[in-house]
Protein backbone atom coordinates (compact mmCIF):
# COMPACT_ATOMS: atom_id res chain seq x y z
CA UNK A 1 0.00 0.00 0.00
CA UNK A 2 2.78 2.44 0.87
CA UNK A 3 4.90 1.73 -2.23
CA UNK A 4 2.19 2.65 -4.81
CA UNK A 5 1.51 5.89 -2.87
CA UNK A 6 5.18 6.87 -2.97
CA UNK A 7 5.34 6.09 -6.68
CA UNK A 8 2.28 8.25 -7.32
CA UNK A 9 3.75 11.19 -5.39
CA UNK A 10 7.06 10.87 -7.27
CA UNK A 11 5.21 10.80 -10.59
CA UNK A 12 3.25 13.95 -9.67
CA UNK A 13 6.45 15.73 -8.68
CA UNK A 14 8.10 14.72 -11.94
CA UNK A 15 5.14 15.95 -13.98
CA UNK A 16 5.14 19.26 -12.11
CA UNK A 17 8.86 19.68 -12.75
CA UNK A 18 8.36 18.94 -16.43
CA UNK A 19 5.60 21.57 -16.67
CA UNK A 20 7.90 24.40 -15.51
CA UNK A 21 10.28 25.62 -18.23
CA UNK A 22 13.64 26.68 -16.90
CA UNK A 23 14.10 30.43 -17.08
CA UNK A 24 17.19 31.23 -19.16
CA UNK A 25 16.34 34.83 -20.13
CA UNK A 26 14.04 37.75 -19.51
CA UNK A 27 10.81 39.08 -20.96
CA UNK A 28 10.21 42.54 -22.35
CA UNK A 29 8.78 44.44 -25.27
CA UNK A 30 9.84 46.53 -28.23
CA UNK A 31 9.67 50.30 -27.98
CA UNK A 32 10.18 53.15 -30.44
CA UNK A 33 11.68 56.59 -29.98
CA UNK A 34 9.67 58.71 -32.40
CA UNK A 35 11.04 61.83 -34.06
CA UNK A 36 8.34 64.50 -34.18
CA UNK A 37 8.67 66.85 -37.16
CA UNK A 38 7.30 70.30 -36.36
CA UNK A 39 7.85 73.66 -38.09
CA UNK A 40 9.33 76.41 -35.89
CA UNK A 41 6.94 78.91 -37.51
CA UNK A 42 3.16 78.90 -37.74
CA UNK A 43 1.12 78.65 -40.93
CA UNK A 44 -1.58 76.81 -42.82
CA UNK A 45 -0.64 73.34 -44.06
CA UNK A 46 -0.82 73.41 -47.85
CA UNK A 47 1.06 70.29 -48.95
CA UNK A 48 1.50 66.89 -47.30
CA UNK A 49 3.89 64.81 -49.41
CA UNK A 50 3.88 61.56 -47.39
CA UNK A 51 1.47 59.20 -45.68
CA UNK A 52 1.54 56.93 -42.66
CA UNK A 53 3.67 53.81 -43.11
CA UNK A 54 5.66 55.27 -46.02
CA UNK A 55 9.44 54.97 -46.03
CA UNK A 56 11.31 58.24 -46.55
CA UNK A 57 14.97 59.06 -47.14
CA UNK A 58 17.04 61.88 -45.67
CA UNK A 59 16.25 65.17 -47.41
CA UNK A 60 12.93 64.00 -48.84
CA UNK A 61 10.15 66.63 -48.70
CA UNK A 62 7.55 65.95 -46.00
CA UNK A 63 5.17 68.91 -45.92
CA UNK A 64 4.90 72.62 -46.71
CA UNK A 65 3.10 75.56 -45.11
CA UNK A 66 1.71 78.67 -46.78
CA UNK A 67 4.64 81.10 -47.02
CA UNK A 68 2.87 84.16 -48.49
CA UNK A 69 3.49 86.48 -45.49
CA UNK A 70 7.08 85.30 -45.14
CA UNK A 71 7.79 85.81 -48.84
CA UNK A 72 6.50 89.39 -48.62
CA UNK A 73 8.60 90.02 -45.51
CA UNK A 74 11.62 88.51 -47.26
CA UNK A 75 11.17 90.84 -50.25
CA UNK A 76 10.92 93.84 -47.95
CA UNK A 77 13.98 92.79 -45.98
CA UNK A 78 15.92 92.25 -49.20
CA UNK A 79 15.05 95.75 -50.42
CA UNK A 80 16.03 97.29 -47.09
CA UNK A 81 19.32 95.42 -47.14
CA UNK A 82 20.11 96.65 -50.64
CA UNK A 83 19.29 100.23 -49.66
CA UNK A 84 21.45 100.08 -46.53
CA UNK A 85 24.32 98.53 -48.47
CA UNK A 86 24.14 101.26 -51.10
CA UNK A 87 24.20 103.95 -48.42
CA UNK A 88 27.20 102.31 -46.79
CA UNK A 89 29.05 102.19 -50.10
CA UNK A 90 28.14 105.81 -50.79
CA UNK A 91 29.89 106.94 -47.61
CA UNK A 92 33.13 105.41 -48.95
CA UNK A 93 33.04 107.62 -52.03
CA UNK A 94 33.65 111.31 -52.64
CA UNK A 95 31.41 113.68 -54.60
CA UNK A 96 30.27 112.70 -58.08
CA UNK A 97 32.40 113.61 -61.09
CA UNK A 98 29.93 116.22 -62.47
CA UNK A 99 29.83 117.92 -59.06
CA UNK A 100 33.62 118.05 -58.97
CA UNK A 101 33.61 119.46 -62.51
CA UNK A 102 31.47 122.38 -61.37
CA UNK A 103 33.84 123.12 -58.50
CA UNK A 104 36.84 122.79 -60.82
CA UNK A 105 35.35 125.33 -63.24
CA UNK A 106 34.71 127.75 -60.38
CA UNK A 107 38.31 127.27 -59.27
CA UNK A 108 39.57 128.16 -62.76
CA UNK A 109 37.42 131.31 -62.73
CA UNK A 110 38.82 132.26 -59.33
CA UNK A 111 42.38 131.80 -60.54
CA UNK A 112 41.68 133.96 -63.56
CA UNK A 113 40.24 136.63 -61.29
CA UNK A 114 43.34 136.33 -59.12
CA UNK A 115 45.63 136.93 -62.10
CA UNK A 116 43.55 139.89 -63.19
CA UNK A 117 43.60 141.37 -59.70
CA UNK A 118 47.38 140.96 -59.59
CA UNK A 119 47.82 142.80 -62.88
CA UNK A 120 45.50 145.56 -61.74
CA UNK A 121 47.47 146.00 -58.52
CA UNK A 122 50.73 146.25 -60.45
CA UNK A 123 49.24 148.84 -62.82
CA UNK A 124 47.88 150.93 -59.96
CA UNK A 125 51.25 150.85 -58.24
CA UNK A 126 52.95 152.16 -61.44
CA UNK A 127 50.37 154.90 -61.78
CA UNK A 128 50.85 155.84 -58.15
CA UNK A 129 54.63 156.15 -58.66
CA UNK A 130 53.95 158.55 -61.54
CA UNK A 131 51.47 160.53 -59.48
CA UNK A 132 48.44 159.80 -61.63
CA UNK A 133 46.34 158.00 -58.95
CA UNK A 134 45.73 158.36 -55.27
CA UNK A 135 47.10 155.80 -52.78
CA UNK A 136 43.55 154.68 -52.10
CA UNK A 137 43.36 153.14 -55.58
CA UNK A 138 46.38 150.98 -54.79
CA UNK A 139 44.80 149.91 -51.53
CA UNK A 140 41.60 148.92 -53.34
CA UNK A 141 43.55 146.86 -55.88
CA UNK A 142 45.49 145.09 -53.11
CA UNK A 143 42.25 144.24 -51.32
CA UNK A 144 40.73 142.83 -54.51
CA UNK A 145 43.80 140.65 -55.03
CA UNK A 146 43.60 139.33 -51.49
CA UNK A 147 39.92 138.46 -51.98
CA UNK A 148 40.71 136.67 -55.25
CA UNK A 149 43.45 134.64 -53.60
CA UNK A 150 41.11 133.69 -50.74
CA UNK A 151 38.48 132.56 -53.24
CA UNK A 152 41.07 130.38 -54.99
CA UNK A 153 42.10 128.81 -51.69
CA UNK A 154 38.44 128.18 -50.81
CA UNK A 155 37.65 126.39 -54.06
CA UNK A 156 40.89 124.45 -53.98
CA UNK A 157 39.98 123.16 -50.51
CA UNK A 158 36.47 122.32 -51.77
CA UNK A 159 38.02 120.18 -54.51
CA UNK A 160 40.09 118.25 -51.99
CA UNK A 161 37.11 117.74 -49.67
CA UNK A 162 34.96 116.60 -52.61
CA UNK A 163 37.35 113.73 -53.26
CA UNK A 164 37.21 112.51 -49.64
CA UNK A 165 34.75 109.88 -48.31
CA UNK A 166 32.46 110.58 -45.37
CA UNK A 167 33.84 110.86 -41.86
CA UNK A 168 34.85 107.62 -40.20
CA UNK A 169 32.01 107.76 -37.66
CA UNK A 170 29.45 108.18 -40.41
CA UNK A 171 30.98 105.34 -42.39
CA UNK A 172 30.94 103.05 -39.32
CA UNK A 173 27.30 103.91 -38.66
CA UNK A 174 26.39 103.18 -42.29
CA UNK A 175 28.20 99.82 -42.21
CA UNK A 176 26.42 98.89 -38.97
CA UNK A 177 23.03 99.69 -40.52
CA UNK A 178 23.93 97.58 -43.55
CA UNK A 179 24.91 94.64 -41.35
CA UNK A 180 21.67 94.95 -39.36
CA UNK A 181 19.68 94.96 -42.61
CA UNK A 182 21.53 91.85 -43.80
CA UNK A 183 20.72 90.09 -40.52
CA UNK A 184 17.06 90.99 -40.91
CA UNK A 185 17.19 89.63 -44.45
CA UNK A 186 18.71 86.37 -43.20
CA UNK A 187 15.95 86.01 -40.60
CA UNK A 188 13.25 86.52 -43.21
CA UNK A 189 14.90 84.03 -45.57
CA UNK A 190 15.17 81.49 -42.73
CA UNK A 191 11.45 81.79 -41.98
CA UNK A 192 10.67 81.12 -45.62
CA UNK A 193 12.88 78.02 -45.58
CA UNK A 194 11.23 76.70 -42.43
CA UNK A 195 7.89 76.60 -44.21
CA UNK A 196 9.20 73.54 -46.06
CA UNK A 197 10.22 70.62 -43.88
CA UNK A 198 12.22 67.62 -45.11
CA UNK A 199 13.12 64.31 -43.48
CA UNK A 200 16.23 64.69 -41.30
CA UNK A 201 17.11 61.02 -41.69
CA UNK A 202 15.99 57.80 -43.35
CA UNK A 203 12.92 56.56 -41.51
CA UNK A 204 9.35 55.38 -41.76
CA UNK A 205 6.37 57.70 -41.29
CA UNK A 206 4.81 56.37 -38.11
CA UNK A 207 1.84 58.74 -37.91
CA UNK A 208 0.41 61.90 -39.49
CA UNK A 209 -1.43 64.27 -37.16
CA UNK A 210 -2.67 67.05 -39.47
CA UNK A 211 -4.10 67.36 -42.95
CA UNK A 212 -3.79 70.05 -45.66
CA UNK A 213 -5.93 73.07 -44.87
CA UNK A 214 -5.41 72.85 -41.11
CA UNK A 215 -3.56 75.52 -39.15
CA UNK A 216 -0.22 74.51 -37.69
CA UNK A 217 1.07 76.35 -34.63
CA UNK A 218 4.78 76.99 -34.22
CA UNK A 219 6.36 73.87 -32.73
CA UNK A 220 3.27 71.69 -33.33
CA UNK A 221 4.19 68.27 -34.79
CA UNK A 222 2.69 67.52 -38.17
CA UNK A 223 3.95 63.93 -38.33
CA UNK A 224 6.18 61.45 -36.52
CA UNK A 225 9.07 59.48 -37.99
CA UNK A 226 10.50 56.21 -36.76
CA UNK A 227 14.16 55.73 -37.80
CA UNK A 228 15.52 52.17 -37.65
CA UNK A 229 18.11 53.12 -35.05
CA UNK A 230 15.35 54.39 -32.75
CA UNK A 231 13.84 50.94 -32.15
CA UNK A 232 14.93 49.15 -29.03
CA UNK A 233 14.05 46.39 -26.60
CA UNK A 234 13.06 47.09 -22.99
CA UNK A 235 13.19 44.23 -20.54
CA UNK A 236 13.47 43.66 -16.82
CA UNK A 237 16.26 41.78 -15.13
CA UNK A 238 16.13 40.44 -11.55
CA UNK A 239 18.46 42.08 -9.08
CA UNK A 240 20.35 38.82 -8.78
CA UNK A 241 21.40 38.99 -12.45
CA UNK A 242 21.70 42.72 -13.16
CA UNK A 243 25.16 42.88 -11.61
CA UNK A 244 26.53 40.69 -14.37
CA UNK A 245 25.33 42.98 -17.19
CA UNK A 246 27.47 45.68 -18.75
CA UNK A 247 26.85 48.35 -21.36
CA UNK A 248 27.46 47.12 -24.92
CA UNK A 249 27.18 43.53 -23.75
CA UNK A 250 25.57 41.31 -26.42
CA UNK A 251 22.06 39.91 -25.99
CA UNK A 252 19.70 38.10 -28.32
CA UNK A 253 16.10 39.12 -28.99
CA UNK A 254 13.35 36.62 -29.82
CA UNK A 255 9.82 37.46 -30.89
CA UNK A 256 6.87 35.74 -32.54
CA UNK A 257 6.99 36.02 -36.30
CA UNK A 258 10.42 37.70 -36.35
CA UNK A 259 12.22 34.77 -37.89
CA UNK A 260 15.80 34.29 -36.76
CA UNK A 261 16.95 35.79 -33.50
CA UNK A 262 18.07 39.44 -33.50
CA UNK A 263 21.51 40.34 -32.22
CA UNK A 264 21.50 43.40 -29.95
CA UNK A 265 23.69 45.21 -27.45
CA UNK A 266 22.76 46.65 -24.09
CA UNK A 267 22.47 50.44 -24.32
CA UNK A 268 21.04 51.31 -20.90
CA UNK A 269 20.89 49.81 -17.40
CA UNK A 270 18.68 51.53 -14.83
CA UNK A 271 20.42 52.67 -11.67
CA UNK A 272 17.33 52.10 -9.53
CA UNK A 273 15.04 49.06 -9.16
CA UNK A 274 11.36 48.62 -9.91
CA UNK A 275 8.97 46.33 -8.14
CA UNK A 276 6.48 45.71 -10.92
CA UNK A 277 7.15 46.12 -14.63
CA UNK A 278 4.61 48.34 -16.42
CA UNK A 279 3.58 45.39 -18.67
CA UNK A 280 3.59 41.82 -17.40
CA UNK A 281 4.14 39.00 -19.87
CA UNK A 282 5.00 36.27 -17.38
CA UNK A 283 3.61 35.45 -13.96
CA UNK A 284 7.15 34.67 -12.86
CA UNK A 285 7.96 38.39 -12.98
CA UNK A 286 5.33 39.43 -10.42
CA UNK A 287 6.40 40.85 -7.11
CA UNK A 288 10.08 40.65 -7.95
CA UNK A 289 12.70 43.32 -7.59
CA UNK A 290 13.80 44.03 -11.18
CA UNK A 291 15.92 46.55 -13.06
CA UNK A 292 15.00 48.09 -16.39
CA UNK A 293 17.49 47.35 -19.18
CA UNK A 294 17.43 48.51 -22.80
CA UNK A 295 19.14 46.97 -25.81
CA UNK A 296 19.39 48.10 -29.43
CA UNK A 297 19.76 45.80 -32.44
CA UNK A 298 23.21 45.75 -33.98
CA UNK A 299 21.98 45.94 -37.59
CA UNK A 300 19.48 48.47 -38.92
CA UNK A 301 17.69 45.84 -41.00
CA UNK A 302 17.15 43.77 -37.85
CA UNK A 303 15.79 46.80 -36.01
CA UNK A 304 13.05 47.18 -38.64
CA UNK A 305 11.77 43.75 -37.65
CA UNK A 306 10.79 45.08 -34.24
CA UNK A 307 7.36 46.63 -33.83
CA UNK A 308 6.53 48.93 -30.89
CA UNK A 309 4.68 47.06 -28.16
CA UNK A 310 5.66 43.65 -29.45
CA UNK A 311 6.51 41.10 -26.68
CA UNK A 312 10.09 39.94 -26.65
CA UNK A 313 12.19 37.24 -25.04
CA UNK A 314 15.75 38.29 -24.29
CA UNK A 315 18.62 35.92 -23.70
CA UNK A 316 22.18 36.80 -22.74
> How far is 305 from 74, CA to CA, in rounded Å?
46
Whether residue 206 contacts residue 52, with contact meaning beta carbons closer than 8 Å, is answered with yes
User: Taking Cα atoms as reference points, which of 139, 138, 149 lies closest to residue 113?
Assistant: 149
Ordered per-residue pLDDT tens for the chain, 316 residues: 444 433 343 433 433 333 333 346 898 999 999 999 999 999 999 999 999 999 999 999 999 999 888 777 777 777 777 777 777 677 666 667 777 788 788 878 888 888 988 888 888 888 878 877 888 888 888 898 889 888 888 888 877 777 766 667 777 777 777 777 788 878 888 888 999 999 999 999 999 999 999 999 999 999 999 998 899 999 988 888 888 899 999 999 998 888 899 999 999 998 887 765 555 555 555 446 788 999 999 988 888 888 888 999 999 8
Helices 168-194 and 68-90: angle between axes, nearest 10 degrees: 160
For the beta sheet containing 35-37, the strands, ordered from the edge strand earlier in sequence to the opposite edge, are: 35-37, 223-226, 203-208, 55-56
Whole-prediction pTM: 0.60
Domains of the chain: 23-32+227-315 (2.40.30.170), 35-66+195-225 (2.40.50.100), 94-164 (1.10.287)
CA distance 314 to 26: 5
* Contact between 52 and 205 (Cβ < 8 Å): yes
C-alpha distances in Å from residue 158, one per residue of 109, 153, 161: 14, 9, 5
d(CA 209, CA 66): 18
Amino acid sequence: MRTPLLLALALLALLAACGEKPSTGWTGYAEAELVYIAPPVAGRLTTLAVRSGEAVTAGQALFELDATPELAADAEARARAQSAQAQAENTDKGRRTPELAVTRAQLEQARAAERLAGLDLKRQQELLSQGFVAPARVDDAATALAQARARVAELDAAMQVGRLPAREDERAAARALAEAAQSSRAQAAWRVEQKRQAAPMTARVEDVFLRPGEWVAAGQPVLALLPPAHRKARFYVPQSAVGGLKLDAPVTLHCDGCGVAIAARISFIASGPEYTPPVIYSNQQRDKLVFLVEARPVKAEDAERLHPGQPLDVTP
